[in-house]
Chains A and B, each alone.
Chain A
Amino acid sequence: MGKYSVIGKRVPRIDAKEKVMGQAKYAADYSLADMLWCKVARAPFAHAKILNIDTSKAERLPGVKAVITGKDFNGWTWGFMATTRDEPPLAVDKVRYLHEGVAAVAAIDEDIAEEACELIKVDYEELPGVFDPEEAMKPGAPVIHAYRPNNVSVEYHWNFGDVEKAFAESYLIREDRFETGRVVTGFLEPPASLAYYDPSGYITVWPAKQSPYFHYRHLAGCFRLPLSKIRVIQPYIGGGFGGTKNDSVAGDLCTVMLSKKTGKPVKFIYTMQEVLTTCRRRHNMTIYNKMGMTKDGILTAVESRVIGHGGAYTAIGPLTMFLTGYGTPVPYKLPNYKYDCWRVFTNNPVSAAMRGHGFTHTRFACDAQMGMMAEELGIDPVEIKMRNAIDNPKPGEVYKAVTGFKVKTCGIKEALKAVTEDTIWADRDKMPRQEGPVSYGVGLSGTAYHGGARQLGHQSCAATIRICEDGTVNLITGATDCGQGSDTVLAMIAAEELGVRYEDISIKRVDTAYTPVDPGSYGSRVTLLAGQATQFAARDAKKQLLEAGAKAWKVKPDDIEIRNAVVSLKTNPEKQMSFEKLTKIACYEGAGAVILGRGHSDYGIDEPLDFDHGTGEGGINFSFTAQTVRLGVDMETGKIDVHDFIIAHDAGVPLHPVSVESQNEGGAIQGLGQAIYECFVMEKGKTHNSTLLDYKMPRSTDVPDIKVIDIITNDPDGPFGAKEASEGSHVSTPPAVIDALHSATGVWFKELPVTPEKIVKALKEQGKWMK
């Protein structure tokens, strides 16, 4: 990548120094003088009518300044679409999941706030609950929302090509039931916020949000204030991964309401147990998947019937169910496709988005099923993937999926080749298969994910570049780095475009009073869309600088080049000045010139998503990932040791290779959690494992050695050729692990996570245990 000065370099993260010094401030680190503490009181039932709430005792406790209940929000509710705004900040008439908030307290310290919650008396009438989605769909099941009497929160029925004909003509058809686990994003920083409702009618909050502008709109709606009076100031964010931190939580809205009531700043911090019990989770899904193939293993059709476990409210569920169907036609050519899905309400905590949104469920099912069919057909697992894989379109051409979306670059074949040429796969037969009770297996997957998500609703995304007169640069965007490294990448893009050094760029965090609006961190959109906005803003600023330089040197702007903060004449490179000098010329020239560049992402929404029919472009491009896994299974205990991950990922062009690797590594380990460790154990709406000891996310001793291979496809739509690099390996890991487990044990596991206990059970059923 010699043509770039900054892009592609392993520069240190722009926020690294603050973070290693402990100076980076997160939401819980903020406080104000005279601040009160908020605590949310929660219901002890999963489904119950609220008959009466008596807060008088709590109000009388010394130190308590205010107590609120659901009624204080005057019927305001929120949700993803205008028709599905079914969630109140605190339950009003009834509670729909265990530990839903029913009241909240503000007190002079948190001890007193907690004590006051104990004094709130709520009379409930317990209602029969329903906890299994397929039960909830049956006639006569308890109804959770009156507006959805059949408990179906969302349903779509898509049909592309002629599935029936294709199955009729298929040589082999398989039907399997797959299930993905009840899992959670697992960020380390619990939600927190410090809020101040200025009595003159302004709100200022410091919340832990990865999409601060969603929260900004929620606050404006909830408190009936114009957006211009809502100020969300973004602290550092301790991990996001979708769902909870894309949204508002009860504590967020209660702190503002309590601040309004008391005239004082109010702060809340959730506990980890509160997160693991009450916050958003990933939908767990049951996938009835039917796949057809020719004798040669060529895909003829897929029919997926998917039941999404929605929990108590809709949240972002309509999009989840869309994306779950949307990803099926990549990375393999699929001529006929039918998708029927139902998202179902139950009295469980709310399901929402998480990294690998939607795709992860169906890619797991389809990739595993393809492996099973390869086995039945006697076709090599690499060969079957290669035969079906989408070819990389020639420049200027596109691959059009059966559902209509377009793929302009596709590195899946190259990625499959890269991982299968690596020794882990290539030499798998030379490695021991069995050592004592341990049986080794190697597995393969090939998957895709979309990047640059463009969805209904607001899409605006812009950047401003302010050139300081000493040659340094302030980059201002509405984008949020919640850990993924996007601030670093955006600064690199700005530096590359302007021709300055990376160190000269400083990037500001979101402050809705000053930064331009942006949708936030989800759908792998920041590098692509905010990246493009940054690119345009830099070009705009540069244009102004070049004009000033041209005037000073009496040449045309086009004659001037800026690289590494040195300005020179293209025709006479000896003629130079420093970038600082140029900025001084530009800024001091004339009366009060200020160099401000602006730009916005202009991808727009060319083909809007049609949730009901499955058409439209969900993002700007697709990443592709192939992965191999080597692991060992203790055939007596079922315990798994994962040794190696080889991940070949097509991120178009890795703009910041360190972040691309780190995202691949982190995404894969989160995927490993979902494959073999993590799952909420639920009973009648109660979460039995709500601590980090019992909700088993991978620790340092559980993770394999990981090698990341970059596949370069240079996408025409991403800035500098980039595609997404955060979700691909998260999606590719579960099917690769499943394939490796099959290779080790001979068993195809169809339900995630595959715990030691499930392995032993399967081995026993097949008479393979302790033989």
Chain B
Amino acid sequence: MGIFYRRLPRFDYVVPKTLDEVLKALNKHKGAYRLLAGGTDLIPQLKKREIKEPEYVIDLKGISGLDTISYDGNGLKIGPLATITSIAQSPAVQEHYPILAQAALSMASPQVRNRGTFAGNICNAVPSADSIPSLITLSASVKIRSARKERIVPLEQFFIGPRITALKANEMVVEITVPQQRETSRGVYLKLSPRHSMDLAIVGVAVTGTCENGICKDIRIALGAVAPTPVRAPTAEAVLQGRQITSALVDEAARNAVTQCSPIDDHRASREYRCDMIYVLTRRALNQILLS
């Protein structure tokens, strides 16, 4: 039956005060719950009945301290409730990780950014999620916790497929950790969409790297919306790593990046166009980071 729902499905709502309570609840309700951070993915998905209707929605916002963004000499820690707006506005992010502020501002609208979180963006795990490529190039990892144990997973290994992550039913993300970058490291995120805002990426390319005296000391390239998960382009990086940078080499790396993806044909773009755009945007991003 075709039904266009205007109302959400029935569920019970719980808002625990501590992380332990959440973790216990996860254990108890197994797959029958959904965690709620900003809700900007969850609420529309529930309304459209795109995901299994949960018995419980567990709101994380009753727990204090999960929305912090802290920076010390070792890196950046983003709490699972830090909003996209607060990340874009964080002085530490702007100073040390401007690529993250850039990615944040490329997303959605002020209203959505005021509620949505990077953790939600990551856990929702769509290939076009805009925060992910940049975080991957910064070698970010996620701290995952269950009632029993805590583990750290590099973000690159966190994604298994569209909307599928390494999280187990009783686990949640409690922190996004971004290591300290080299002093000279620079990064850029380029997002291509037909409109100029409120649009999803047809292709997203993030590059973080360092070029000293014309030599590429360090380079990471990550691509969004071009494979079942956001992907890194290691062979393209290898083209550049340790080499004297020329336009020709950048071009070669950009062409190589195309080989690292497996985009689909869908209503947003054809496979061919996506491949072409990986080349164009990777080349642009590399030029900006390594040559300008």
Contacts and interface: CB of A to CB of B under 8 A. Distances in A.
Would A and B touch once assembled, by the CB under 8 A criterion?
yes
Interface of A: 39, 41-44, 98-99, 110-111, 114, 117-118, 120, 122, 269-271, 273-274, 277-278, 636-637, 639, 641, 676-677, 681, 688-689, 692-694, 696, 698-702, 755-757, 760-761, 764, 769-770
B276 interface: yes
19 contacts: A39-B3, A98-B2, A111-B10, A114-B3, A114-B6, A637-B277, A681-B267, A688-B267, A689-B268, A692-B198, A693-B199, A693-B200, A696-B194, A698-B195, A699-B195, A756-B192, A760-B273, A764-B276, A770-B280
A640 B199 CA distance: 14
A111 B7 contact: yes
Q: Which 10 A-B pairs have the closest CB atoms?
A: A42-B2, A688-B267, A274-B4, A681-B267, A701-B196, A701-B197, A99-B2, A271-B4, A757-B273, A636-B280
B29 interface: no
B194 A689 contact: no
Nearest to A682: B267
Contacts of B89: none
Given A677-B194, A761-B273, A120 B280 contact: no
Nearest to B272: A761
Contacts of B199: 693, 696
Interface in B165-217: 192, 194-200
Contacts of A271: 4-6
Q: Pick the most buried of B2, B192, B196: most chain A CB atoms within 10 A of its CB.
A: B2
Contacts of A692: 198
B1 interface: yes
A42 B280 contact: no
Interface in B236-256: none
A129 B99 CA distance: 49
B160 interface: no
Contact of A44 (B1, B197, B267, B279): B1
Contacts of A270: 4
A689 B194 CA distance: 14
Contact of B6 (A99, A110, A694): A110
A38 to B, nearest CB: 11
B4 A757 contact: no
Given A636-B280, A694-B268, A757-B270, A42 B3 contact: yes
Contacts of A269: 6
B269 interface: yes
B36 to A, nearest CB: 19
B198 A693 contact: yes
Interface in B123-159: none
B272 to A, nearest CB: 8
Contact of B276 (A274, A681, A760): A760
Given A637-B192, A696-B194, A699-B198, A41 B3 contact: yes
A189 to B, nearest CB: 14
B17 interface: no
A677 B268 CA distance: 12
A760 B5 CA distance: 38
Given A273-B48, A699-B195, A637 B280 contact: yes
Contacts of A760: 273, 276
A702 B198 CA distance: 10
Interface-central residue, A43, A273, A757, by most chain B CB under 10 Å: A757
B7 A110 contact: yes
A683 to B, nearest CB: 8
Contacts of B192: 637, 639, 756
A639 B194 contact: yes
Nearest to B109: A699
Contacts of A117: 1, 3
B271 to A, nearest CB: 11
A238 B291 CA distance: 51
B1 A118 contact: yes
Contacts of A41: 1-3
A277 B281 CA distance: 34
A761 B280 CA distance: 14
